Chain A
Amino acid sequence: SYDLTQPPSVSVSPGLTATITCSGDKLGEKYVCWYQQKPGQSPVLVIHQDTKRPSGIPERFSGSNSGNTATLTISGTQAMDEADYYCQAWDSSFVVFGGGTKLTVL
């Protein structure tokens, strides 16, 4: 099976840059996407195909993927960005999620 590893938690001060990593074997050879999930809500896609933002997602969200690590970057983090974030990849018809990272804005 294929595993994706995320840090359980990340903290950031308002206005600063938050970085959330996702690690997996040769992850750079796969497409990675990221979801934001707030309490009691369904996940929302914020980055797909490593770097692309869906319509309606703020420009402060960006992504990258190379080697064994994909990264979600939130520039100028706002209080509304506090949420759980999950990376996800597709591997030979199986879908894999990372364990999730709780982003705290304080």
Chain B
Amino acid sequence: EVQLVESGGGLIQPGGSLRLSCAASGFTVSSSYMSWVRQAPGKGLEWVSLIYSGGTTSYADSVKGRFTMSRDNSKNTLFLQMNSLRAEDTAMYYCALLLRSTGEFDYWGQGTLVTVSS
């Protein structure tokens, strides 16, 4: 059974850094397409980043240069390093698994909340 469990969210001051984790089970992270998607309070879904099975990454313009997605194959875990955080980065952050190369997110975690505020 596929499971995705995010952690690492919390309250952080503007300009600060935070690292989110997504512990995966039921499949192998290193051979999968995975993504981070966020949702600001009361707002819609916003794609953040994607990692291909080969390790190549892609980012939304809103986070490019500030966020870095990576994975630890030995721990079967996905990460999102977030630097230079801004108030507009406040959101629930979900990790998601793509089973096919057609771009849909088949499985989602429960999310971890990031609040950027002084």
Q: Do A93 and B58 have beta carbons less than 8 Å apart?
A: yes
A97 touching B45, Cβ below 8 Å: yes
Proximity string of chain A (38-81) to chain B, C-beta cutoff 8 Å, 1 when within and 0 when not: 00001111001100001000000000000000000000000000
Contacts of B105 in A (CB 8 A): 33, 35, 43, 45, 88
CB of B80 to closest CB in A, whole Å:
15
Number of interface residues of B (CB under 8 A): 21
Interface string of B92-118 (1 = CB under 8 A from A): 001000001011111011110000000
Q: How far is the CA of A88 from the CA of B94 in the complex (A)?
A: 16
A48 vs B99: C-alpha distance when bound (angstroms): 11
Q: Is the CB of B47 within 8 A of A96?
A: yes
* Bound-state Cα–Cα, A54 to B44, Å: 22
A contact residues, range: 20 to 34
Take A31-B103, A94-B60 as given contacts and tell me if A99 and B47 are in contact as well, using a CB distance cutoff of 8 Å: no
B109/A31 in contact, CB under 8 A: no
Among B58, B60, B61, B102, find the residue whose CB has the most chain A CB atoms closer than 10 A: B102
Q: How many A-B pairs fall under 8 Å by CB? A: 63
Which residues on the B side are within 8 Å of A94 (C-beta)? 47, 58, 60
Q: Known A42-B110, A43-B45, A43-B108; judge A95-B102 contact (CB<8 A).
A: no
| Interface check A20, CB cutoff 8 A | no
- Which residue of chain B has its CB nearest to the CB of A6? B44
- The residue of chain A having its C-beta at the shortest distance from the C-beta of B43 within the complex is A100
User: A-contacting residues of B (Cβ < 8 Å)?
Assistant: 35, 37, 44-47, 50, 58, 60-61, 94, 100, 102-106, 108-111
Residues on A lying within 8 angstroms of B by beta carbon are 1, 31, 33, 35, 37, 42-45, 48-49, 54, 84, 86, 88-90, 93-100
